[in-house]
Amino acid sequence: MNLITADYIYTPNGFVENGTVAYNDKIEAVDTLQALTEKYPDADIHYAGKNSVLYPGFINTHVHLEFSANTTTLKYGGFMPWLDSVIKHRDELIQACDNRLMLSKTKEMLHSGITTFGAISSFGAELEACVEAAQRVVFFNELIGSNAAYADALYNDFLERIKASQSCEEKDHITPAIAIHSPYSVHPVILQRAVQVAKQNNLPLSAHFLESQAERQWLEEGEGDFKPFFEKFFNTSTPVTSIKEFMHAFDTYPTHFTHCVQANEDELAHLSSKGHSIAHCPRSNRLLGCGRLEIEKVRGLKIPFSVATDGLSSNWSLNLFDELRAAVMMHHAGPLETLSNLLIRSVTSDAAKILRLNVGRIEAGREADFAIISLPDTPSSVDDIALQTILHTQKASEVYIGGEKIV
Ligand code: BEZ
Ligand code: FE2
């Protein structure tokens, strides 16, 4: 048995002072050091240090490792200029993104305390890096293809990629899963089939949804900035689906929708009524000119949400604390303490529930995944710890996965 004692522990009941966690690969108990040394007299004891805060390992539910080579290449400021630049530089960016680079990005996440991530995989190229990574990975095989002529071939390739990720299950901390690229880029026939596959195999399911104003206008009117894009690259001037048709395809299976910045109240209410969740990527939304997700409305409708980094195609780091700081700045109107606590919950217990993994909470029976951070000084009140953690943390001081110390 191992005991970690920290100045503060983030528990489901809030921050507890001078708490101790007993663990092997799973958490066995959470109590005082005295009670746990009496219970486990032979345990190894580790004190995490002055002003330490022990969190469950953080969870980044949405990242694209395949675009890790981008730093200054892609065009930011608006969604369509960005998408055009992705098409233009796609091959060179993918070429430049080898296993070593992707693995180094999983390490960047690890050092920011991320012990689980959801990898959105367009081609399956990052499977090896994800197998090698220290973290738990929900491996979202992505389906793309709006053109009916190519849909079958793309769908078959997608099925092969699912199989490849299934063969890595269990031993390698990989959970196979399915992602739908978006309403504008996936033909409804293969969309329906993919949702069925997710349901039948009980695989986590995710989809980009209503990210930009251009997407909304294209789906509603067949007009706007997407029109010349589809005419140029796909020789078509009509969308393959509508917002309603796309959204209703997921009605019977809870799905993790990414962005939803342009979703209206009715659509958000519908997501809520079907038990869906949202991945909120504030920096990506800002850089691509997509706007702000109204998290007040998301909260009001009780839609579970996670804060996630998205990929380096629309971000400058995969550090979850950079993302949380951006979220604090973006959602400027509400009470700061409430927001900070909500954001910490969104990358721990709420994210774990969304990905359906037994992590994200410091309580007996959960996997022993921990991220310990050290505040620069003693907080004046336990009520400030969430905010002060977000403001002051660049890196976790220690990281554990399944009871094993990784950092
Ligand atoms: C498509 O297959 O329709 C598509 C792919 C990438 C971006 C946009 C559309
Ligand atoms: Fe994304």
Q: Is the CB of 190 under 6 A from ligand 1?
A: no
Q: Is the CB of 224 under 6 A from ligand 1?
A: no
What fold does the segment set 2-56+361-405 form as a domain?
Urease, subunit C; domain 1 (2.30.40)
320-375 pLDDT per residue, tens: 999 999 999 999 998 999 999 999 999 999 999 999 999 999 999 999 999 999 99
At residue 310, what are phi and psi to the nearest 5 degrees?
A: 60, -170
Q: Is the CB of 5 under 6 A from ligand 1?
A: no
Q: Which residue has the tokens 């329906």?
A: 192
Ligand 1 pocket mutation, candidates 143, 182, 190, 234, criterion most atoms within 8 A of CB:
234
Nearest CA to ligand 1 atom 9: 185
How is the chain split into domains, by residue range?
2-56+361-405, 58-355
HSE-CB for 218 with a 13 A CA cutoff: 26
Q: Is the CB of 212 under 6 A from ligand 1?
A: no
Tell me how far apart the alpha carbons of residues 51 and 377 are, in angstroms, rounded to a whole number.
Answer: 6
Q: From residue 73, how far is each of 7, 69, 168, 183, 374 by CA, in Å?
A: 44, 9, 33, 26, 35
pLDDT for 353 equals 98
Are the C-beta atoms of 348 and 305 separated by less than 8 Å? Answer: no
Nearest CA to ligand 1 atom 5: 185
Q: Is the CB of 182 under 6 A from ligand 1?
A: no
Nearest CA to ligand 1 atom 1: 185
Average pLDDT score, the chain? 97
**Which residues contact residue 196 at a Cβ distance below 8 angstroms, ignoring those fewer than 6 apart?**
none
pTM for this model (two decimals) = 0.98
Q: From residue 355, how far is each of 32, 60, 299 by CA, in Å?
A: 31, 10, 19
* Ligand 1 atom closest to residue 229's alpha carbon, by position in its atom list: 8
Catalytic residue, chosen from 126, 211, 267, 323, is 211
At residue 251, what are phi and psi to the nearest 5 degrees?
A: -60, -30
Going from the Cα of 197 to the center of ligand 1, the distance in angstroms, rounded, reads: 21
Interior/surface letters 2-16, b for 16+ CB within 10 angstroms, e for the rest: bbbbbbbbbbeeebb
* Ligand 1 atom closest to residue 145's alpha carbon, by position in its atom list: 2
Going from the Cα of 234 to the center of ligand 1, the distance in angstroms, rounded, reads: 8
Residue 211 annotated among the catalytic residues of the structure:
yes
Q: Which of 252, 251, 240 is nearest to 188 (CA)?
A: 240
126-171 pLDDT per residue, tens: 999 999 999 999 999 999 999 999 999 999 999 999 999 999 987 6
Ligand 1 pocket mutation, candidates 144, 152, 229, criterion most atoms within 8 A of CB:
144
**Closest listed ligand to the CA of 82:** 1
pLDDT for 169 equals 85
* Architecture per CATH, 58-355: Alpha-Beta Barrel (3.20)
3-36 pLDDT per residue, tens: 999 999 999 999 999 999 999 999 999 999 999 9
242-252 pLDDT per residue, tens: 999 999 999 99
Are the C-beta atoms of 19 and 30 separated by less than 8 Å? Answer: yes
Q: Do domains 2-56+361-405 and 58-355 have the same CATH topology?
A: no
Check whether 172 has a pLDDT greater than 90: no
Confidence bin at 225 (pLDDT 50/70/90): very high
Tell me how far apart the alpha carbons of residues 330 and 133 are, in angstroms, rounded to a whole number.
Answer: 31
Ligand 1 pocket mutation, candidates 67, 82, 146, 240, criterion most atoms within 8 A of CB:
146
Going from the Cα of 319 to the center of ligand 1, the distance in angstroms, rounded, reads: 28
The distance between the two most distant Cα atoms of the chain, rounded to a whole number of Å, is 73
Tokens of 324: 């949380």
Strand partners, 29: 22
Q: Could you tell me what percent of the chain has a pLDDT over 70? A: 100
Nearest CA to ligand 1 atom 6: 185
**Closest listed ligand to the CA of 211:** 2
pLDDT for 192 equals 98
Q: Is the CB of 146 under 6 A from ligand 1?
A: yes
Nearest CA to ligand 1 atom 7: 185
CB atoms within 10 A of CB 125: 16
Tell me how far apart the alpha carbons of residues 316 and 326 are, in angstroms, rounded to a whole number.
Answer: 12
Going from the Cα of 396 to the center of ligand 2, the distance in angstroms, rounded, reads: 25
Q: Is the CB of 144 under 6 A from ligand 1?
A: yes
**Which residues contact residue 73 at a Cβ distance below 8 angstroms, ignoring those fewer than 6 apart?**
85, 89, 92, 93
Ligand 1 pocket mutation, candidates 185, 219, 238, criterion most atoms within 8 A of CB:
185
